[in-house]
């Protein structure tokens, strides 16, 4: 075939594709909804902004420009409608997860292992969740508190050895990095009864924390065009990136436990079982439901999401409390009034009994949720009715971004962009009934941990880690933020990661 013929056929092919795209866009039932021009034609618009890490800001600006319903893809609508949270993220599973989620799966022994996040089938999800749900309940999480206490002691010892001045404030350092290492060592301790070693070494000695960030970068972008994952991470010849690459240490620790090579004290193991103990117990009791691959999928949830979101929350609490006038001082006073003392590790019950601490944590999570991307669902048969009377057709991908919902002025008021913990407390002159109604409205618009049947399984564990360590730091140290007027950088790549949190500290006696 001549070069001219090749060029002609290439032109015909491109013209046909262009004509098909124009026709599809013109005939689309979503054409009535406004949004960025490029997003009407391709998912590359979302891919680009997740790759840049600014999708949270782009989503917010789009709603400010176009309103509560924004078209962000050929078949996707981004909503800022708190009244529809319970409909879309319901407990009945009618709005099923889209193909956005499977890239978070891993490959084990040549097979794709879907986890509780990436599973789309509601019935199978319920079956797999039922087997382990009690271990993530509040009661199950409280049983892990000694593991968390051990890690907080290690964190304090590491900070004391490195950053305490002889008399007064010591040198400045990035407390945010230590918070991240704390969160990862907690996950190692509660999952395997063994810290990963980040707090002891004071650094990302094995590169796993860096690798985890790259995995989140991969998932956030590839999930916008899911078929790419089958080529890049799920191909059987040379997989690159993705969740599977993060499973190496997890698989080794599982194999060591199976083979009895983990050197655990049998007495301590019996007294303080970890998540892996519990998963293996479920495997023995329900071998038809839980096999080795399923145990790995449970472990992968802890590894992929258990540390990063918790570290992000703790860093957000410290950042906003330290740089907002009067908040940190009031928080310290509230913890002391509740009986917390320097040198002691706050129990979860003690920390939760401090209303102002709860207000600070919830306000930080509102402004800075762990995940700041649209969490899409597929509209079921019958469509989705919108407040304006329009009906979104079945098969459309719809969802909401927790970052955007957290700034909805209908719910949060004209100061929605401000950090004001008092909004979570009953105001002077406000009746109990009025506060209950207002609080219910705020709770309904809170997607920090998801909602409905797919609410985050590790919610209680994440909150336990956050409340305990913030309360303990508050009564143990005077913290002084360096350059409080300086905004930190934020990158939204699945998780809403932050930059440095530079502080100086001194021990409170």
Across the range 228-249, mean pLDDT stands at: 79
Of residues 464 and 289, more confidently modeled: 464
Instruction: Identify which of 391, 459, 131 has the alpha carbon closest to the alpha carbon of residue 281.
Output: 131
**Would the pLDDT of 445 be above 70?**
yes
One-character DSSP codes across 265-329: -HHHHHHS--HHHHHHHHHHH-TTT--HHHHHHHHHHHHHHTTHHHHHHHHHHHHHHHHSTTHHH
pLDDT at position 395 over 60: yes
DSSP conformation class of 450: B
Alpha-carbon distance of 116 to 454, in angstroms, equals 9
Could you read off the pLDDT of 266-312 as tens digits, one per residue?
777 778 899 999 999 999 999 998 998 899 889 988 887 789 999 99
Task: Say what the pLDDT of residue 425 is.
Answer: 98
- Reported as a single tens digit per residue, the pLDDT across 403-443 is 999 999 999 999 999 999 999 999 999 999 999 999 999 99
3-state secondary structure of 384: strand
Is 464 part of any domain? no
C-alpha distances (whole Å) from 217 to each of 53, 221, 331 are 8, 7, 34
Torsion sign, CA atoms 162, 167, 168, 172: negative
**Quick check: is 318 in a domain?**
no
Exposed / middle / buried, residue 407 (Cβ in 10 Å: 0-12, 13-18, 19+): middle
Which pLDDT band, with edges at 50, 70 and 90, does 4 fall under? low
Number of domains in the chain: 1
Query: Is the residue at 296 inside a domain?
Result: no
Q: What is the mean pLDDT of residues 120-149?
A: 95
CB atoms within 10 A of CB 126: 13
Mean pLDDT (the chain) is: 91
SS3 content of the chain, % helix, strand, coil (to 5): 55, 10, 35
How many whole angstroms separate alpha carbon 230 and alpha carbon 239? 9
Residue 363 within a domain:
no
Q: How does residue 242 score in pLDDT terms, banded at 50, 70 and 90?
A: low
Q: Which helix (H) or strand (E) holds 113?
A: strand 111-113
Distance set, CA 196 to CA 37, 157, 204, 382 (Å): 47, 16, 10, 49
How many C-beta atoms lie closer than 10 Å to residue 263's C-beta?
7
Helix, strand, or coil here: 477? Answer: strand
Q: How far is CA 7 from CA 1, 3, 16, 296, in A?
A: 10, 6, 14, 51
The answer to the question of residue 383 being in a domain is yes
User: What is the band of 2 on the pLDDT scale with cuts at 50, 70, 90?
Assistant: low
- 244-265 confidence digits (pLDDT tens): 666 777 777 887 887 777 777 7
187-206 residue pLDDT tens: 999 999 999 999 999 999 99
321-338: pLDDT as tens digits? 999 999 999 999 999 999
Question: Domain for residue 403, yes or no?
Answer: yes
For residue 18, being part of any structural domain is answered with no
Q: What is the residue range of 98's domain?
A: 30-104+371-408
Query: In degrees to the nearest 10, what's the CA dihedral of 362, 363, 368, 373?
Result: 70
Q: Residue 19: pLDDT above 50? A: no
User: Was 456 annotated as part of a binding site?
Assistant: yes
Query: Helices H, strands E: what count in the chain?
Result: 23, 14
pLDDT of residue 17: 42
Q: Is the residue at 85 inside a domain?
A: yes
């Amino acid at each position: 075939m001549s070069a001219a013929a090749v060029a002609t056929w290439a032109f015909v092919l491109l013209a046909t594709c262009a004509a098909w795209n124009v026709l599809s866009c013109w005939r689309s039932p979503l054409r009535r909804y406004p949004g960025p021009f490029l997003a009407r034609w391709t998912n590359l618009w979302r891919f680009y902004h997740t790759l840049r890490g600014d999708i949270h800001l782009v989503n917010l600006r789009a709603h400010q420009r176009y309103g509560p319903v924004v078209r962000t893809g050929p078949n996707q609508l981004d909503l800022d409608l708190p009244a529809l949270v319970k409909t879309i993220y319901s407990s009945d599973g009618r709005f099923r997860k889209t193909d956005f989620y499977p890239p978070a799966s891993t490959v084990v022994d040549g097979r794709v292992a879907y986890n509780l996040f990436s599973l789309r089938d509601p019935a199978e999800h319920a079956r797999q969740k039922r087997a382990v749900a009690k271990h993530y309940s509040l009661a199950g999480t409280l049983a892990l508190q000694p593991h968390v206490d051990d890690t907080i002691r290690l964190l304090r010892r590491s900070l004391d050895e490195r950053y305490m001045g002889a008399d007064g404030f010591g040198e400045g350092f990035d407390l945010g990095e230590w918070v991240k290492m704390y969160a990862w060592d907690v996950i190692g301790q509660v999952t395997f009864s063994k810290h990963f070693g980040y707090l002891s070494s004071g650094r990302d000695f094995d590169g796993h924390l860096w690798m985890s960030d790259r995995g989140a970068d991969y998932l956030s972008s590839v999930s916008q065009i899911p078929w790419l994952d089958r080529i890049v991470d799920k191909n059987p010849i040379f997989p690159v990136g993705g969740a599977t690459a993060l499973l190496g240490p997890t698989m080794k620790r599982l194999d060591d436990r199976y083979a009895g090579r983990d050197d655990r004290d049998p007495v301590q193991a019996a007294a303080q079982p970890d998540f892996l103990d519990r998963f293996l117990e479920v495997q023995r009791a329900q071998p038809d439901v839980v096999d080795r691959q399923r145990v790995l999928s449970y472990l992968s949830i802890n590894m992929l999401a258990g540390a990063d979101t918790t570290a992000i929350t703790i860093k957000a609490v410290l950042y906003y409390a330290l740089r907002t006038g009067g908040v940190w001082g009031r928080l310290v006073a509230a913890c002391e009034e509740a009986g917390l003392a320097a040198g002691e590790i706050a129990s979860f019950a003690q920390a939760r009994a401090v209303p102002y601490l709860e207000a600070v944590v919830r306000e930080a999570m509102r402004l800075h949720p762990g995940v700041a991307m649209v969490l899409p669902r597929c509209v079921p048969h019958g469509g989705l009715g919108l407040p304006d009377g329009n009906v979104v057709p079945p098969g459309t991908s719809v969802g909401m971004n927790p970052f955007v919902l957290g700034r909805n002025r209908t719910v949060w008021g004209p100061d929605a962009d401000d950090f004001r913990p008092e909004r979570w407390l009953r105001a002077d002159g406000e009746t109990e009934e009025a506060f209950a109604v207002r609080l219910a409205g705020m709770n309904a618009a809170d997607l920090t941990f998801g909602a409905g049947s797919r609410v985050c399984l590790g919610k209680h564990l994440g909150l336990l880690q956050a409340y305990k360590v913030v309360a303990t730091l508050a009564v143990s140290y005077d913290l002084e933020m360096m350059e409080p007027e300086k905004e930190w950088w934020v990158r939204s790549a699945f998780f809403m990661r932050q930059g440095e949190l530079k502080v100086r500290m001194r021990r409170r006696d």
